[in-house]
Structure 1
Amino acid sequence: MEAIHSHNCNLNIWYYLPDEVWNKVAKLYERMPGWMGYIDGIPHWYGQEEDDVYIQASVELSGLSFYAQMDQSDWDSWIGRFKSEATKVLGFEVGEPEDGVE
């Protein structure tokens, strides 16, 4: 078993995008593996902060932000799927601004 690490990711899904976009994002949340629902208004997958493995998201000025605790390969798979599905659903390339995705 791989070691559990923390991961952060900011995506180019900006806070100021219209409700139509955010409604699509909310529906995508529910289709992602490990969906648990909103806990105190925060979307969670797999668990919560007190669990060994979890993912949570928040909307920040820097874009849609994910924080996760899980092994590297599971994280890479999950976030890769989210980016791919979001790109299809939203109609623009979803990725990390730090990697040059606008």
Structure 2
Amino acid sequence: MHEASLNIAYEMDDTTSETLEKVYQQLPGWQGYDAYDNCPRWRLPQCEVIASVEPSGLHLSSFPEADISAWIEQFCQVASSELGFAVHDAAE
């Protein structure tokens, strides 16, 4: 898997947005926000991961394409704990 759309709403209140930022910082490889497009970014050994909030949910992608299934699973676990609801791939 090299991308996923998670069931985190496009429109969120300030509290949810702040909590999501705390989630970002807990994940391995956290680099901060990209200066060009202000998207959250992580650097993993095999690739870079970029997130963007889309109408379909929070979209995570790897560049170059790499299997980031374990990392996405960890993201979902941390986000579920912090946000207080089960976070998962919206396609499931």
TM-score by length of 2: 0.86
Gaps of at least 5 residues in structure 2 are none
Match of 2:80 among 71, 81, 87: 87
CA RMSD of aligned residues (A): 1.7
Gaps of at least 5 residues in structure 1 are 1-5
State whether structure 2 residue 59 is matched by structure 1 residue 62.
Answer: no
In structure 2, the residue matched to 1:10 is 5
Give the count of matched residue pairs.
Answer: 88
Q: Is the 8 A contact 2:50 2:62 kept in 1?
A: yes
**Which ranges of 4 or more aligned residues in structure 1 deviate by more than 3 Å?**
none
| Alpha-carbon distance, 1:8 to partner | 1.4
Deviates more, 1:52-61 or 1:85-94: 52-61
- Give the percent of matched residue pairs that are identical in Structure 1 and Structure 2: 34
Deviation string, structure 1 residues 21-65 (Cα, Å, up to 9, x no partner): 111011111111001111121111007xxxx61000000000100
The code of the aligned residue for 1:34 comes to G
TM-score by length of 1: 0.78
State whether structure 2 residue 44 is matched by structure 1 residue 44.
Answer: no
- Between the aligned partners of 1:71 and 1:30, the Cα distance in structure 2 is 21
In structure 1, the residue matched to 2:27 is 32
In structure 2, the residue matched to 1:3 is none
- Between the aligned partners of 1:35 and 1:83, the Cα distance in structure 2 is 15
| Alpha-carbon distance, 1:17 to partner | 2.1
Q: Secondary structure at the match of 2:2?
A: strand
